[in-house]
Structure 1
Amino acid sequence: HHMHHMHELLPLMRSYATALTACPPLMGALKEVRSTMRERRHAQRSADANGGCCWSSSPIPSDLNDLGRSSLPLHGDVQASMLIETMRRIVSHPAFERAILTTIFLSSAALAFDMPSVQPGSLEAGVLASLDIAFTFIFVVEMLLKIMAHGAFAHPDGYFLSSWNLLDASIVTTSVASLLADDVEYLEALRALRALRALRPLRVIRRFPGLQKVVNSLFRSIPQVGDVAQVCLLFFIVFGLFGMQFLMGRMAACSDPSIPRKEDCVGTFVDPSRGETVERWWGNDDLGNFDNIWYATLTLFEMATLEMWPEVLWRTMDSDPVAKGVAPVRNANPIMGSFIVIWIVVSNFILLNLFVGVVLENFNAIRKAEDGSSFMSE
């Protein structure tokens, strides 16, 4: 049966050979294809003999050489890739983040125990110094691991492309500089950087998404806060000028309570609190006054924070409603109490809440952009 098929194929093979002989270009193309196939098999055997890491020096077409360099990585590149992948797994592991977070809390606690009562050279000072070095070393190792894992400026997750990583890097750098300043004499000027160690607790922010949203909303609110501040400044100036019209020069008194007028506030008197003879003087006390726009604005700001505003209220109500240079008399000008109350309502209940409203609005915008939920609806 097989012999029968062979007899049928023989005429076809003779016709194929006759066609190749009659067409020299076709014969040359076939020889070129065979030669290329032999060279490729030879190159493959050479690569297998060399462990698959490089091509042999035998004549190989340029396209095969390019293919070999692009598709067969060197052994060192493989090791580097494996090392980078291992580092990425380490720095992204939850246990690594928990360890760094614990270190941040411990370093912050150590800073809290660094009090003036700790004497230089004592055991406590030595322990705190050793802990500072250990914590700084851990933070430096963490930073280097993340730089090696993600790259310094490589897109999209380069270490220095994140503002939070820049904050971490600046804190770690200042910690290292402060340690060097303690040991290197010509770097003593950098010892002032030790105060920046107080920024270490800020490193907690990047590890809690909720805190990041709050801080991002604060920074995002800065332009709008500037607009609100301009509105508040306008109200401060208006109320300050209004207060100057009615209270300028009318809240002062003589240091001698027995002298009611400014022109009589001269000479000396015996101070009953100290039992000494002192000079009389006419002026304002520490509660504030409306003698000029600066003091008026400062007094209004103090009352806007609800600090000592009742004392200022009583003082304005005791001011003389007509003349200047007259010592305050109890309830001599009660109508001024309404001015103070109106300012408290406008400043504390309206103006200051504008700042809170701006921050909350941006916080809600960030929440909606991330998960579509609103903070106020929860």
Structure 2
Amino acid sequence: PEELTNALEISNIVFTSLFALEMLLKLLVYGPFGYIKNPYNIFDGIIVVISVWEIIGQQGGGLSVLRTFRLMRVLKLVRFMPALQRQLVVLMKTMDNVATFCMLLMLFIFIFSILGMHLFGCKFASEKDGDTLPDRKNFDSLLWATVTVFQILTQEDWNKVLYNGMASTSSWAALYFIALMTFGNYVLFNLLVAILVEGFQTEEVSKNEDMSAHLSCIQLPVESIG
């Protein structure tokens, strides 16, 4: 409804103005260099600049894509939720291991894409009105082979790709998809879960050690007094 749209636009202008005022006050209090020392201030500043830019260019209609960045304002609540903030910090600390996992995943997808092109290249097609139409999920090129392998890993209509492979070649084609699902979905993705779980466990152990050290520092003066 138009009334709801107008209310949302007015609310957007009001809240953006409040966030911009908050940003200006922080800049006046902390100064530019003191402001950018806090990563959350940098994040808030980026969101405010994008929001103001979106409002200014709203009349032209060419910056409507920037409206999606409004959702990032929800992340501003992280500052007021220590538990969620700690989890995000743990995720950031595991990014080096996650990057290694992503490289391994890309190598795995590349290998199975090349293998799929050799096995099923130009075979996923159907006849319609005398014309040969390739299926959207095919292995005719490296690009579409990569997309198809990634789709299988996400388990999105992977059974249709399996049936197409078996129908176009033989029943032995199922071994390719079984290997892809077994090593890709159940091994690699579980490895990612293990990386994240290890990161949280390490953070918990570090937190317990810090607490034990803090308690020891408190007990030593008490014992010396006794």
TM range (shorter): 0.7 to 0.9
* Equivalent pair of 1:217/1:366 in contact (CA under 8 Å): yes
Instruction: Give yes or no for the alignment of 1:351 onto 2:201.
Output: no
Q: Which residue of 2 aligns with 1:170?
A: 46
Question: In structure 1, how many angstroms separate the alpha carbons of the residues matched to 2:61 and 2:149?
Answer: 44
Identity %: 28
Contact 1:213/1:366, CA 8 A, preserved across alignment: no
**What is the Cα-based RMSD across aligned positions, in Å?**
2.9
**CA distances 1:306-354 after superposition (whole Å, capped 9, x unpaired):** 010111111111123xxxxxxxxxxxx1111122112111111111222
Cα distance, 1:371 vs. partner?
4.6
Instruction: Report which of the two has the higher share of helix.
Output: 2
**Cα distance change on mapping 1:178 and 1:314 into 2, 3 Å:** closer
- Partners of 2:148 and 2:56 lie apart in 1 by 46
Aligned residue type for 1:293: L
> Aligned pair in 2 of structure 1 residues 139, 348: CA closer, same or farther (>3 Å)?
same
1:92-128 deviation per Cα after TM superposition (whole angstroms, max 9, x unaligned): xxxxxxxxxxxxxxxxxxxxxxxxx43xxxx444433
| Structure 1 pair 237–144 and aligned structure 2 pair: CA distance change class (3 A) | closer
Q: Is 1:135 matched with 2:15?
A: yes
Tell me the distance in 2 between the aligned counterparts of 1:237 and 1:213: 35
1:128 and 1:248 map into 2 onto residues whose CA distance is: 51
Indicate which of 352, 359, 363 corresponds to 2:200: 363
Residue from 121, 132, 135 that aligns with 1:285: 135
Contact 1:253 1:284 in 2 (8 A): yes
CA distance in 1: counterparts of 2:115 and 2:68, whole angstroms = 44
Q: Sort the Cα spacing of 1:126 and 1:281 in 2 relative to 1 into closer, same or farther, 3 A.
A: closer
Tell which deviates more after alignment, 364-373 or 132-141.
364-373
Unpaired segments ≥5 residues, structure 1: 1-116, 256-278, 321-332, 374-378
- How many pairs align? 210
**Cα distance between partner residues in 2 of 1:342 and 1:370:** 41
Query: Deviation string for 1:52-88 (max 9, x for gaps)?
Result: xxxxxxxxxxxxxxxxxxxxxxxxxxxxxxxxxxxxx
The equivalent of 2:168 in structure 1 is: 319
Is residue 2:100 matched to residue 1:227?
Answer: yes
TM-score, structure 1 as length reference: 0.48
C-alpha separation in 1, matches of 2:140 and 2:155: 21
Once residues 44 and 157 of structure 2 are traced to their aligned partners in structure 1, the CA distance between those partners, rounded to angstroms, is: 41
Q: Structure 1 residues 127, 247: closer, same or farther in 2, change over 3 A?
A: closer
Q: Which residue number in structure 2 is paired with residue 342 of structure 1? A: 179
Aligned ranges 1:1-378 → 2 under 5 Å: 117-118=1-2, 123-148=3-28, 151-152=30-31, 158-181=34-57, 193-255=66-128, 279-286=129-136, 288-320=137-169, 333-372=170-209
Distance 1:167 1:335, change over 3 A: same
Describe the shift of the 1:167–1:247 C-alpha distance in structure 2 as closer, same or farther (beyond 3 A).
Answer: same
Name the SS of the counterpart of 1:335 in structure 2. helix
For residues 145-181 of structure 1, what are the alpha-carbon distances to aligned partners after superposition, in whole Å with 9 as ceiling and x for unaligned? 44455x2367xxx432111121112212333343444
**Any stretches of 5+ residues in structure 2 without a counterpart?**
211-226
Query: Which amino acid counterpart does residue 31 of structure 2 have in structure 1?
Result: A
Counterpart AA for 2:49: T
Whichever residue aligns with residue 133 of structure 2, its letter is G
Separation (CA, whole Å) in 1 of partners of 2:48 and 2:134: 50
Conserved? CA contact 1:171–1:196, under 8 Å? yes
Q: Under a length normalisation based on structure 2, what TM-score does the superposition of the two structures give?
A: 0.76
Mapped to 1, the partners of 2:14 and 2:196 lie a distance apart of: 38
| C-alpha distance in 1 between matches for 2:5 and 2:122 | 55
Q: What amino acid sits opposite 1:338 in the alignment?
A: L
